[in-house]
Amino acid sequence: MVEQRTVDDAEIDRVFHALADATRRDIVRRTLVAEQSVSDLAAGYAMSFAAVSKHVAVLAEARLVHKRAEGRTRLVRADPAGLERAQRLLRSYEDLWRSRIDRLDALLAEEPRDPVSDG
């Protein structure tokens, strides 16, 4: 039997916080293509190595990327499982709102309409 793990509010907050920043979304995009060092990532932005490293730490805390050491180099790669979790979270919100809109449409379809009087 496959265990379905419930996502708690703190984990949801970490994922959405991590993805709320354009630089972090770009880091995820770049590391989906290929594993990259933090130095290589930092070279692509007008910010310090330390700032990029902090962005990577936020993504790692949200489990959207993995960071590993290879000698003195820190390599980063996107975590497909973490991205799938984020996609499932978004899909659950989409499903919630679609069902609400469908119920509203059904209610509106049931309401009798008043005839327009001409005069």
User: Cβ–Cβ contacts within 10 Å for residue 32, how many?
Assistant: 14
Q: pLDDT for 11-33, tens place per residue?
A: 889 999 999 999 999 999 999 99
Class of domain 9-110 as given by CATH: mainly alpha
Q: Find, among 75, 63, 73, 59, the residue nearest to 20 by Cα.
A: 59
**Chain position carrying tokens 């265990």:** 3
What is the chain's alpha carbon radius of gyration, rounded to the nearest angstrom? 22
What are the structure tokens assigned to 106, written together? 């059904």
More confident call, 4 vs 102: 102
Q: pLDDT for 23-73, tens place per residue?
A: 999 999 999 999 999 999 999 999 999 999 999 999 999 999 999 999 999
- DSSP for the chain reads ----PPPPHHHHHHHHHHHTSHHHHHHHHHHHHS-EEHHHHHHTSSS-HHHHHHHHHHHHHTTSEEEEEETTEEEEEE-HHHHHHHHHHHHHHHHHHHHHHHHHHHHHHHSPPPPPP--
The full set of domain ranges for the chain reads 9-110
